Structure 1
Amino acid sequence: MLWNERLRYALFHRGSEEAARIFEAARKQGLYEPVLQAVLEAQPRWHDDPQIQAAWETAEAAGLGVEKAREVLNAPEITATLELDEADIQAFEVKGTPTFSVKGEPLPRLNPQQQLYDLVRSEVAATR
Structure 2
Amino acid sequence: MTHVAVAGGASWDTLLHLPEFPPPEPATVSAHRSYQAVGGTGVGKALNLAALGLQVTLTASVGEDVHAEAIAGLLVKHGVRWQPVTVGEATEQHVNLMNARGERLSIYAVTPAPDLGFTPA
TM-score interval, normalised by the smaller of the two chains: under 0.3
Of structures 1 and 2, the one scoring higher in RCO (CA 8 A, sep 6+) is: 2
TM-score (norm 1): 0.25
Between Structure 1 and Structure 2, the one with more strand by share is 2
TM-score (norm 2): 0.26
Between Structure 1 and Structure 2, the one with more helix by share is 1
